[in-house]
Amino acid sequence: MARRLHLMTDKSNRAERNHVQWQPLLQQQEQRRLLGTSKLLRFCMVASMVEFILLGMGNVPSLQTPLFLLSLIIYLVTMAANILIVLLVVADWHLHTPMYFFLGNLSSLETCYSSTILSRLLASFLTGDSTISVHGCMAQFYFFGYFLVSECYLLAMMSYDRYLAICQPLLYASLMTWKVSLQLAAASWLVGFLTSTVVTSFVSHLRFCGLKVIDHFFCDFTPLLEVACSDTNAARLVTFTLAVFNLVFPFLSNLASYVCIIAAILRIPSSVGRQKAFSTCSSHLIVVTVFYGTLIIVYLMPRTPQLRQLNKVFSFFYTVLTPLVNPLIYSLRNREVREALRKAFRKALACTQSSC
């Protein structure tokens, strides 16, 4: 019995000595584990501070490849069609008029507009990486606002040009000179630049906390405010004020121009004359209707959970599909653009056959 107690005491002493011996090593391992965990947490916190997550069109892996191919085709056709119109306006002297000068500006703008949205969307589909840096998000938001406001004013300038051509035909040449055309186009780009600079400066000073998940496929104003944790009243007030001047005013200008144009066309006695007058502005009227129709739906539609996907669809339409259909509308419905396109193709074909 005494021997058994001695053996048990000896085992207990050895276990205690082993515990004391291994205690520092266990403490070191625990410290390393905690240090690694804290580093990982710090990394995640830093990553969340410098990145947003764009949810895109929805987390459906099976649709990523079809959406990538569709977006790629749209992007390539949009770029090719708009660049082609710019080249036609520059190369064909028959198109050296204020109307086509504004059209060339619009196509240049649409090229930049598509690249701002679609290039990032294509990269997300291709790599599966839906994150975007804060600086990248602010840059996308800035250029998106810049081109959006500039397009609103360019469409208003084009409506004014058609108003002068139809309602004031005798004064058109003296009122819409090349100097005036350049000033109007430059003013459109300048107002877009100034407006976007002011709005982006307010948005970039907001504080974004927690997991910054943007429920959209690009960095837009309302989705960005939804993930902000600081006071957004100043940004909302400034943006609303500028939107009234830079979106509503051009829209009302377009509306007033076309009311006068339609009234003037209806006063033309012959049906042939009415048809000819309307054909000069029908393409632009379709573009304005499609652009403002989708724009109004997007920004007046409440962003409830049930309507967010529908909001994305309309946003996709006016940011991605509108730049695609604009050159197609102008080329298919405009006789002078079609004729310039035929001449360009004939020259290219003749050059190819003669190996020039």
Q: What is the pLDDT of residues 195-224, one digit of tens each?
A: 999 999 999 998 887 677 888 889 989 889
pLDDT at residue 38 is higher than 60: no
Per-residue confidence band for 44, with pLDDT thresholds at 50, 70 and 90 = very low
Global pTM value = 0.81
Identity of the highest mean pLDDT range in 52-61, 176-185, 261-270, 292-301: 176-185
CA-CA distance, 154 to 146, in Å (whole number)?
12
pLDDT at residue 74 is higher than 60: yes
Q: What is the pLDDT of residues 240-249, one digit of tens each?
A: 999 888 988 9
Q: Which fold has domain 55-353?
A: Rhopdopsin 7-helix transmembrane proteins (1.20.1070)
Q: Which long-range contacts (CB under 8 A, 24 or more apart) does 186-193 make?
A: 187/153, 188/105, 188/150, 188/153, 188/154, 188/157, 189/105, 189/150, 191/149, 191/150, 191/153, 191/246, 192/145, 192/146, 192/147, 192/148, 192/149, 192/150, 192/151, 192/153, 192/246, 193/146, 193/150
Flag the least confident range among 23-27, 115-119, 190-194, 327-331. 23-27
pLDDT at 356: 54
pLDDT at 43: 36
Contact criterion met (CB below 8 Å) for 249 and 236: no
pLDDT at 47: 41
Per-residue confidence band for 15, with pLDDT thresholds at 50, 70 and 90 = very low
Flag the least confident range among 106-120, 250-264, 308-322. 308-322
At 195, which amino acid appears? T
For residues 110-123, average pLDDT: 91
